[in-house]
Amino acid sequence: MTPFYKFQFYLFALMAIGAALLFVTRKSPVSAALWLVNVMFALSGLYVMLDAPFVAAVQVLVYAGAIMVVFVFVVMLLNLGRPDQLPDLREVGARIGAGLVGIALFANLLAVRREVLPVVELAPPSDNVVLPVAESLFTDYLLAFELTSVLLLVAIVGAVLLARKKAVT
Amino acid sequence: MTDFALPGELIHALMPEITLVVGTLILLLVSAWGGEHSSPTRLTTRFALGIVAVTAGAVILAWLRGDGGTSDGRLAGDGFRYAVDLVLLLGTAGTLALLDTEQARTRAYQAEVPVLMLLALCGMMLLTAARDLMFLFIGFELMSIAVYVLAGSNRSSARSAEASLKYFLLGAFSSGFMLYGIALLYGAAGDTRLASIGATAVGPLYLVGVALLLTGLAFKVAAVPFHLWTPDVYDGAPAPVTAFMAACVKTAAFALLLRIMTEALGPAIDTWHPVLWWLAAATMVVGNIVALAQSNLKRMLAYSSIAHAGYLMVAVLAYSADAAAAMVFYLLVYTLATLGTFAVLGIVSEGRESATTIGDLAGLWHVRPGLAVVLAVCLLAFLGFPIAGGAGFFAKWYVLQAALSSSTPLNVLVVVLVLASVVSAGYYLTAIASMFNQPRSSNAMMPVPTPIFSGVVMVVSVVALLVLGVYPTPASRLAAAGALGASPLRTVAAPQPAATAASRSQSTLPEQ
């Protein structure tokens, strides 16, 4: 492992952890959401280092792109007001609970070692990382792929139905 | 033999679904015709009825052809699929007819409502066909998302919006559980096909997956203690949508439950059987006892539908081909009785602001004997009363028979079922007695004349119930023919040649 690689790893890892801490401690929902975007970017950097550029790209597109936009839209639609006027939703009980879950997850992380994980047969490394995804998408999961378009259609028709002005009488 | 299905094979296997989707897309264009100021809802409703009829034809053709599955084992082509599809199509046709009546009166529904019903139906038909958790989940979501919107489709009612939001939030939560379960099962088996999961050794990952999957399914079939959304949603949603949820969503969810339990979760039967046993017992007892306390008719029917979920779970627990046949027959009868009940309810609650109560039925016999008789027959069918309740009696009888002749007889559960049915007489008979014995109060509203579509629904369901009540053989034989193909229990008894094994279930079942 070259020192440069190590440096990169610590850079992205510390970025992810720092941004995650800022994400849970911010009071304003919008700045919390933006710190979450930062976490996603740092994670996708780590994926690139793990030789998984496709996952990294999807991570940015789906999480930093689509899901965050939905978060910000919801925050915007709720129209909560200025951050300093907001009551803090994070009560003592919730903080303790979150802390306990965090400790449990951390303990879990320490307990996980290569020996206890199931052995997974890795696909041989390939330069074309999109090919295997495309292959299974258009063979094994062709029908699932096509059906997702019907699912999206339902969502669109449903949104039109609910968002349109009151029915014509 | 390829490991995946070729497009041609998929088209062959999904002919009924493709017919339905193509029809629905055309319908979507039709619904956009009207423009701002006219609402072509009744046109689209009738068009949708036509599509349902054509799809039913495609299902029957596929059943007669009898080679519907795909070679990779991801889609079933068995009788169970087609038999349940026909029940679903019947339920949807009835719902569309009720919607037409409702629209003529209230003009509250937009032209896309029938489109969403057909798309939900497409999801349901996928649920009956899929043998792969991936397809199952997409079908499940297709059905669920469409029904969330349908529950809120009466835009002029705040209660309808509330029902929709409640259903959506809790439904999304339960879908999350189910998806987690699917992910863990995939992790345990390394494949999403039901047959592969059914051939996997049971480990902790597998069991947690089963528990999460079962939670998601129990929510959708409204089993106690996952039933709390049901009364509010059934009460708030427009009457035709409530009928759709009670009849079709329940039918599809049970078809899914049965298929997953028999084809994928056979190895873990010792674990889930006791859990499902207690769920079934609690569902029957709680559903019926709480229904006794309801005066609002729609809430009473919601609790009654919870109780029926309990009876149907007994059929799943019996875990045999006979039980699967009993379940299909029960679902047919339940669909017919639900449609008849909601057809009457739609007319009785005409123009009423508040919810219709049992008191509003008082003396219905004296003003509209026809409606009173239809409602009485349907409620007696729910109760399982012989002769007068038509096929309701046989529906319960077949379930009981299957439960008693199962490899591990469910004697205690059968006693619970019978006692719960006796309790249910408390509310069904109260409603009937109030229609026939009490005088009509002087300020009670006169029900409107029966519109033609509602009338057809009533006549069809009552005649079908009564005829099947005297002569259930054809339907039960058809249901049995359907179940035989579905059940891997028979394939285990008579091993299939290796060539067709891939298209059949390969699940290994525990010693019976």
Q: Is A128 on the interface with B (CB under 8 A)?
A: no
> In angstroms, what separates the C-alpha of A61 from chain B's closest C-alpha?
22
Model pLDDT, residue A162 = 87
Tell whether the model's pLDDT for residue A75 goes beyond 90. Answer: no
Report how far residue B96's alpha carbon sits from residue B91's, in angstroms, rounded to the nearest whole number.
9
pLDDT band at residue B26, thresholds of 50, 70 and 90? very high
Model pLDDT, residue A169 = 43
> What count of CB pairs under 8 Å joins A to B?
82
Of A32-46, B87-101, B218-232, B348-362, give the lowest mean pLDDT range: B348-362
Chain A residue with minimum CA distance to B108: A167
Model pLDDT, residue B85 = 94
Structure tokens belonging to residue A46:
């780590």
Determine the angle formed by the axes of helices A3-25 and A29-49, rounding to 10 degrees. 160
Residues of A in contact with B115 (CB under 8 A): 157
Model pLDDT, residue B180 = 92
Tell whether the model's pLDDT for residue A115 goes beyond 70. Answer: no
Residues of B in contact with A167 (CB under 8 A): 39, 107-110, 155-156
**Listed residues A79, A96, A120: the one ending a domain:** A120
Q: What is the number of structural domains in chain B?
A: 1
Q: The domain containing residue B123 runs over which residues? A: 7-491
A115 & A151 share domain: no
Residue in B120, B122, B153 nearest the CB of A161: B153
- Higher-pLDDT residue of B2 and B510 is B2
Per the domain annotation, does B501 fall within a domain?
Answer: no
Q: What is the number of structural domains in chain A?
A: 2
Model pLDDT, residue B249 = 94
Q: The domain containing residue A131 runs over which residues? A: 126-169
Type of residue found at B47? F
Q: Is A149 on the interface with B (CB under 8 A)?
A: no
Residue in B14, B139, B155 nearest the CB of A166: B155
Nearest C-alpha neighbor of B417 from the set B326, B307, B333: B307
Tell whether the model's pLDDT for residue A152 goes beyond 90. Answer: yes
A112 & A161 share domain: no
A106 & A36 share domain: yes
Q: Is B10 on the interface with A (CB under 8 A)?
A: yes
Please count the CA atoms within 13 angstroms of the CA of B458 that sit on its side-chain side.
23
Model pLDDT, residue A30 = 82
Q: Is A168 on the interface with B (CB under 8 A)?
A: yes
Nearest C-alpha neighbor of B62 from the set B46, B44, B83: B83
The rounded mean pLDDT for chain B is 86
Quickly list DSSP for B417-473. Answer: HHHHHHHHHHHHHHHHHHHHHSPPPTTPPPPPPPPHHHHHHHHHHHHHHHHHHH--H
pLDDT band at residue B509, thresholds of 50, 70 and 90? very low
Q: What is the pLDDT of residues B257-282, one digit of tens each?
A: 999 998 888 888 888 999 999 999 99
A 10 A CB-CB count for B495 gives 9
Q: Is B214 on the interface with A (CB under 8 A)?
A: no
Residues of A in contact with B126 (CB under 8 A): 147
Q: Is A141 on the interface with B (CB under 8 A)?
A: yes
Model pLDDT, residue B329 = 92
Model pLDDT, residue B48 = 93
Type of residue found at A98? A
> In angstroms, what separates the C-alpha of B332 from chain A's closest C-alpha?
27
> In angstroms, what separates the C-alpha of B105 from chain A's closest C-alpha?
11
Pairwise CB contact (< 8 Å): A139 & B156: no
A113 & A132 share domain: no
Residue in A151, A160, A168 nearest the CB of B141: A151
Q: What are phi and psi of A2, to 5 degrees?
A: -70, 155
Pairwise CB contact (< 8 Å): A158 & B75: no
Tell whether the model's pLDDT for residue A168 goes beyond 60. Answer: no
pLDDT band at residue A83, thresholds of 50, 70 and 90? low
Model pLDDT, residue B498 = 34
> In angstroms, what separates the C-alpha of B95 from chain A's closest C-alpha?
18
Report how far residue B39's alpha carbon sits from residue B127's, in angstroms, rounded to the nearest whole number.
32
Q: Is A117 on the interface with B (CB under 8 A)?
A: no
Model pLDDT, residue B139 = 95
Report how far residue B200's alpha carbon sits from residue B188's, in angstroms, rounded to the nearest whole number.
8
Tell whether the model's pLDDT for residue A151 goes beyond 60. Answer: yes
**What are all long-range contacts of B414-420, with beta carbons under 8 Å and residues at least 24 apart?**
B414/B314, B416/B281, B416/B284, B416/B285, B417/B284, B417/B310, B417/B311, B417/B314, B420/B284, B420/B285, B420/B287, B420/B288, B420/B307, B420/B310, B420/B311
Per the domain annotation, does B350 fall within a domain?
Answer: yes
pLDDT band at residue B315, thresholds of 50, 70 and 90? very high
Average pLDDT, integer, range B332-360? 86
Model pLDDT, residue B112 = 87
Nearest C-alpha neighbor of B104 from the set B51, B169, B46, B64: B46
ipTM: 0.84
Of B32-46, B129-143, B190-204, B358-372, give the lowest mean pLDDT range: B32-46
Per the domain annotation, does B503 fall within a domain?
Answer: no
A112 & A151 share domain: no
Model pLDDT, residue B494 = 32
Report how far residue A39's alpha carbon sits from residue A45's, in angstroms, rounded to the nearest whole number.
10
A150 & A167 share domain: yes
pLDDT band at residue B413, thresholds of 50, 70 and 90? very high
- CA Rg value for chain A: 21
Per the domain annotation, does B262 fall within a domain?
Answer: yes
In chain A, % of residues over pLDDT 70: 82
pLDDT band at residue B95, thresholds of 50, 70 and 90? very high
In chain B, % of residues over pLDDT 90: 50
Structure tokens belonging to residue B14:
């999904």
Element (H, E) at B489: helix B488-493
Average pLDDT, integer, range B73-85? 88
In the block, residue with structure tokens 């919730």:
A94
Tell whether the model's pLDDT for residue B22 goes beyond 60. Answer: yes
In terms of residues, how long is chain B?
Answer: 512
Per the domain annotation, does B507 fall within a domain?
Answer: no
Per the domain annotation, does B496 fall within a domain?
Answer: no
Instruction: Decide: B117 and B150 in contact? Cβ < 8 Å.
Output: yes
Q: Is B5 on the interface with A (CB under 8 A)?
A: yes
Choose from B151-160, B194-203, B416-425 the range with maximum mean pLDDT: B416-425
Pairwise CB contact (< 8 Å): A147 & B149: no
Pairwise CB contact (< 8 Å): B135 & A147: yes
Q: Is B7 on the interface with A (CB under 8 A)?
A: yes
Residues of B in contact with A140 (CB under 8 A): 3-4, 72
> In angstroms, what separates the C-alpha of B135 from chain A's closest C-alpha?
6
Chain B residue with minimum CA distance to A155: B145
> In angstroms, what separates the C-alpha of B39 from chain A's closest C-alpha?
6
pLDDT band at residue B10, thresholds of 50, 70 and 90? confident
The rounded mean pLDDT for chain A is 83
pLDDT band at residue B486, thresholds of 50, 70 and 90? very low
Residue in B112, B138, B164 nearest the CB of A147: B138
A76 & A41 share domain: yes
Tell whether the model's pLDDT for residue B489 goes beyond 50. Answer: no
A21 & A99 share domain: yes
The CATH number assigned to the domain holding A22 equals 1.20.120.1200
Pairwise CB contact (< 8 Å): A143 & B3: no
Average pLDDT, integer, range B42-60? 92
Chain A residue with minimum CA distance to B137: A144
Structure tokens belonging to residue A40:
């996603």
Instruction: Decide: B212 and B151 in contact? Cβ < 8 Å.
Output: no
Helix (H, G, I), strand (E, B) or coil at B200: coil
* Whole-structure pTM value: 0.85
Q: What are phi and psi of B71, to 5 degrees?
A: -75, -15
Tell whether the model's pLDDT for residue B497 goes beyond 50. Answer: no
Average pLDDT, integer, range B441-454? 81
In terms of residues, how long is chain A?
Answer: 169
Residues of B in contact with A151 (CB under 8 A): 138, 141-142, 145
Residues of A in contact with B123 (CB under 8 A): 154
Tell whether the model's pLDDT for residue A148 goes beyond 70. Answer: yes
Q: What is the pLDDT of residues A54-65, one digit of tens each?
A: 889 999 999 888
Q: Is A119 on the interface with B (CB under 8 A)?
A: no
Residues of B in contact with A148 (CB under 8 A): 138
Pairwise CB contact (< 8 Å): B145 & A155: yes
Q: Is B381 on the interface with A (CB under 8 A)?
A: no
A44 & A109 share domain: yes
Residue in B116, B132, B152 nearest the CB of A157: B116
Per the domain annotation, does B303 fall within a domain?
Answer: yes
Pairwise CB contact (< 8 Å): B116 & A140: no
Tell whether the model's pLDDT for residue B184 goes beyond 50. Answer: yes
Quickly list DSSP for B253-299. Answer: HHHHHHHIIIIISGGGHHHHHHHHHHHHHHHHHHHHHHHHT--BHHH
Instruction: Decide: B247 and B490 in contact? Cβ < 8 Å.
Output: no
Per the domain annotation, does B86 fall within a domain?
Answer: yes
> In angstroms, what separates the C-alpha of B110 from chain A's closest C-alpha?
6
Residue in B21, B135, B149 nearest the CB of A143: B135
Model pLDDT, residue B433 = 92
